[in-house]
A and B are shown apart, each in its own frame.
Chain A
Amino acid sequence: MKESAFKSVKDLPATHVLGSGTPACAGCGALEGIKIFCDILGDKTVFVNAAGCMTLLTVYPFTPFRGSWIYTAMASAPAGAQGVRDALDLLIRKGRLKPKDDLKVVVLTGDGSAYGMGLSSTSAAIYRELDFIYICYDNEGYGNTGYQFSAATPHAARTATSKGVGGYWGYKKDLFSIWAAHRPTYVATVVGTEPLDMARKIEKAKDLKGSKLFIVLSPCPTGWRFEPAETIEVGKLAVKTGAWPLKEYINGKVVHTKIPLPRGKRPLVEEYLKRQGRFAHLFSPTRNEEVLEEIQARVDAYWEGVV
């Protein structure tokens, strides 16, 4: 494997491909992630989007993207990517498009689509070894419709449809493993607040053939309820506490790209939870020790299995 061009944060592109002035909320972690993708993928791209917050990036007659864009529907962005990829290949093979005018096909969907409604079309695309990049910006809920829980919502989080004392009853679905079980070319978890890790992964995967899939944890001030200025800190805590493992799947193996400090030395998950209004009911009026312990135990158990 060739060495990364990104040795330190200073090596990351200084000028951005994605334009500014989008309708996304201030401090949107999803947008931070997408910016890094655009910087590294360049402008020879066509983004195939599913319904979600990022659909509002292109509002007629403006687009922040330098490349092309097609909005499909909530369930079928990977199918749209299949159509575009196949058509580009056909045009090149039949001499109707110059190979230099080829594009990278990039699916962009939220977690609601990726973890749920879009799973069938995604599974089918991976199984067909579709040559594409999938960016799932994971804000852990149906953000665009007012932040209801999705299959990506973490346990106990309060959302518009889990306002009860316990918050969300469910547990976040393990999409990384579901995707990896398809044995695609590449799967990674990333977060925009770890730009170096993210840039290296995109760089490594982008020119490989086949399905390259990314789950981008996307701190969402509006849904998670924290101040927009705190996005970076929240994202960093997700990694430091071990709540969001950074890893990749390649050549049949899962490798963790950033291992938090050992148990006892790393900050408790509650440091991460405390920063978010969606978990406030776990801390006041009284601490919900039981749930906090359960969440911590799950994270600890995860890392015990890794190290």
Chain B
Amino acid sequence: MIRKLLTGNGAAAWGARLAKIDYVPAFPITPQTEIIETIAHWIDKGQMDCRMITMDSEHSMITAAGAAAATGVRVFTATSSQGFLYGMEMIYTVAGWRAPFVLVNVSRGLSAPITLEPDHNDVLAARDSGFLQIHCATCQEVLDSVLFAYRLGEDERVRLPVIVNLDGFYLSFTREPVEIPDDKKVDRFLPPYDPEETHFRAGDPISQGVVVLGGSQYSYFRYETHLASLNALVVFEEVSIEFKELFGRSYQPVEAYRTEDAEIIFFMMGSFATKAKDAVDCLRSVGRKVGLLRPRLFRPFPVKAIIRVLEGKKGVAVIDQNLSMGKGGVLHAELCSALYGVADSPPILVSFIGGLGGRDIIREEFYEMAAVTMKAIERGETPPPRLLYTTEEMMRMKGLQSIARVEQLKREEKR
């Protein structure tokens, strides 16, 4: 075991290297590029026995990834944002092939307008695809999750591709000390991929992605995929024990921080949850009983683990770093459906939208969200969803708009 300062992208590349991947179809997009550049460099230096191939698009990249996995090799790939969506048809398709591989998505806000900074609308577009989803908050978690992901996806009870998600810039380009596990130990944790019967070879033909006639057969295969995804919850627990024994780090499907005696819980995903942690500590220091619950596993959705933590709590502030236009936060809706009708579940779930396109969520905003949630609990009434935006931000925006207007007038005058 060695300790190194690694970016989130570097950690993802290390995960792939330790997993002894065979094959990497790739296509560049900011902020993912460092991952494929690092792997390409290692291959060039002979430090990885793996083939990397740059495809003409992410649509092709995900097709090749799924097809190679279906042929029986261990596959890794990575993308972000527009690339992720460009390949969306294939994200749904390859999950139906039940071909396990790992796709690292470096979250970045979607166009339009264009940004390079993160939010989760890209990865959430694959919510219903059949891919498992692991969301990371630290660089260490990125590396560990890649290894975890292969164990989950390749398990014969699951056989599904897995997305490991990390936030662009906040994790992708942030250096943190990361323990790089011992090679031999990783081999014990993650033996070579055994595709069993499901791969192409002479004399043993199989057909993948075929047509079915009618809803009954179609439903059968869709249900199978759903049930396989749910199986990942069981597998996760088993893998988690093994991982702890070998590497000393413990991962649960949800991370619960100072939740035990908490009355109010912040509920959010990804690296911004580390900001919530900091706010929890501050609020605790002035006697507020606040905690944080962060789903690491988003698909399958760890309903039981969530209920276990939230049972008996008075209220939850759900902070969505995404926006489903015309509805609101995706995570909020997910949580509502998980808790509805569950005895002793928190009566108040307040929805906040924040962190879109990398917009910061500052400590004071966490205090405010806690206060709003507290007030809602006292009144027994849930307030409407809040879009985090300060007066100062609005002033700055108005400033930019007036500059835009002046520029336009100048152009019109010239004409």
On chain A, the residues within 8 Å of B89 by CB distance are 73, 75
Q: Is B51 touching A86 in the complex (CB atoms < 8 A)?
A: yes
Inter-chain residue pair count (beta carbon < 8 A): 156
A101 within 8 A of B: yes
Of B22, B49, B93, B201, chain A has the most CB atoms within 10 Å of the CB of B201
- CB closest chain-B residue, reference A59: B211
Apart from A70-B209, A82-B60, A120-B57, what 20 extra A-B contacts exist at CB < 8 Å? A58-B207, A66-B205, A70-B70, A70-B200, A70-B208, A73-B59, A73-B89, A73-B90, A73-B93, A79-B55, A79-B56, A82-B53, A83-B25, A83-B68, A83-B70, A84-B70, A88-B71, A91-B72, A101-B202, A121-B59
Which B80-118 residues sit within 8 Å CB-CB of chain A?
89-90, 93, 97
- CB closest chain-A residue, reference B67: A83
Q: Is B211 touching A60 in the complex (CB atoms < 8 A)?
A: yes
Q: Is A71 touching B209 in the complex (CB atoms < 8 A)?
A: yes
Which A113-152 residues sit within 8 Å CB-CB of chain B?
120-121, 123-124, 128
Instruction: Enumerate 16 A-B pairs (CB-CB under 8 Å) in ascending A order.
Output: A60-B213, A69-B207, A69-B210, A70-B207, A73-B63, A76-B90, A80-B67, A82-B60, A83-B67, A84-B67, A86-B73, A89-B51, A91-B71, A94-B22, A103-B200, A124-B55
Interface residues of A (CB under 8 A from B): 43-44, 46, 48, 55-56, 58-60, 63, 65-73, 75-76, 78-84, 86-91, 94, 96-97, 100-103, 120-121, 123-124, 128
Known: A68-B200, A73-B90. A43 touches B205 (CB 8 A): yes
Of B200, B201, B209, B212, chain A has the most CB atoms within 10 Å of the CB of B200
Q: Is A86 touching B217 in the complex (CB atoms < 8 A)?
A: no
Tell me, in angstroms, the Cα distance from A84 to B23 when the chains sit together: 11
B149 to chain A, nearest CB (A): 19
Known: A76-B60, A80-B64, A84-B71. A100 touches B208 (CB 8 A): no
B276 within 8 A of A: no
Q: Is B212 touching A59 in the complex (CB atoms < 8 A)?
A: yes
On chain A, the residues within 8 Å of B70 by CB distance are 70, 83-84
Of A58, A69, A83, A100, chain B has the most CB atoms within 10 Å of the CB of A83
The 3 closest A-B pairs by CB, nearest first: A83-B67, A79-B60, A87-B71
Tell me, in angstroms, the Cα distance from A103 to B70 when the chains sit together: 14
Which B190-217 residues sit within 8 Å CB-CB of chain A?
200-203, 205-213, 217
Interface string of B11-50 (1 = CB under 8 A from A): 0000000000011010000000000000000000000010
B65 within 8 A of A: yes
Q: Is B23 touching A65 in the complex (CB atoms < 8 A)?
A: no
B61 within 8 A of A: yes
A78 to chain B, nearest CB (A): 8
Known: A59-B212, A83-B25, A87-B23. A46 touches B53 (CB 8 A): no
On chain A, the residues within 8 Å of B209 by CB distance are 70-72
On chain B, the residues within 8 Å of A128 by CB distance are 53
B209 to chain A, nearest CB (A): 4
B66 within 8 A of A: yes
Q: Is A79 touching B64 in the complex (CB atoms < 8 A)?
A: yes
Known: A68-B200, A123-B56. A58 touches B67 (CB 8 A): no
On chain A, the residues within 8 Å of B205 by CB distance are 43, 63, 65-69
- CB closest chain-A residue, reference B193: A96
Partner of A97, one of B67, B68, B201: B201
Known: A68-B207, A86-B51. A60 touches B212 (CB 8 A): yes
Tell me, in angstroms, the Cα distance from A79 to B56 when the chains sit together: 9
Q: Is B72 touching A96 in the complex (CB atoms < 8 A)?
A: yes
On chain A, the residues within 8 Å of B68 by CB distance are 83-84, 86-87, 90
On chain A, the residues within 8 Å of B200 by CB distance are 46, 68, 70, 84, 88, 103
- CB closest chain-A residue, reference B66: A83
Tell me, in angstroms, the Cα distance from A86 to B75 when the chains sit together: 11
Partner of B63, one of A46, A65, A79, A100: A79
Tell me, in angstroms, the Cα distance from A46 to B65 when the chains sit together: 16
Known: A60-B212, A66-B205, A90-B23. A75 touches B51 (CB 8 A): no
Partner of B208, one of A67, A71, A75: A71
Tell me, in angstroms, the Cα distance from A91 to B70 when the chains sit together: 12
Q: Is A80 touching B63 in the complex (CB atoms < 8 A)?
A: yes
B289 to chain A, nearest CB (A): 51
- CB closest chain-B residue, reference A70: B208
On chain A, the residues within 8 Å of B56 by CB distance are 79, 120-121, 123-124
On chain B, the residues within 8 Å of A56 by CB distance are 211
- CB closest chain-A residue, reference B52: A86
Known: A87-B68, A120-B56. A71 touches B210 (CB 8 A): yes
Q: Is B65 touching A83 in the complex (CB atoms < 8 A)?
A: yes
Tell me, in angstroms, the Cα distance from A36 to B93 when the chains sit together: 30
On chain A, the residues within 8 Å of B211 by CB distance are 55-56, 58-60, 71
B17 to chain A, nearest CB (A): 16
B85 to chain A, nearest CB (A): 14
On chain A, the residues within 8 Å of B60 by CB distance are 75-76, 78-79, 82, 120-121, 124
B102 to chain A, nearest CB (A): 15
On chain A, the residues within 8 Å of B212 by CB distance are 59-60
On chain A, the residues within 8 Å of B66 by CB distance are 80, 83
On chain A, the residues within 8 Å of B22 by CB distance are 87, 90, 94
A121 to chain B, nearest CB (A): 5
- CB closest chain-B residue, reference A119: B56
Q: Is B73 touching A103 in the complex (CB atoms < 8 A)?
A: no
Q: Is B210 touching A79 in the complex (CB atoms < 8 A)?
A: no
Tell me, in angstroms, the Cα distance from A124 to B93 when the chains sit together: 21
Of B63, B97, B206, chain A has the most CB atoms within 10 Å of the CB of B63
Tell me, in angstroms, the Cα distance from A107 to B73 when the chains sit together: 20
Which B209-235 residues sit within 8 Å CB-CB of chain A?
209-213, 217
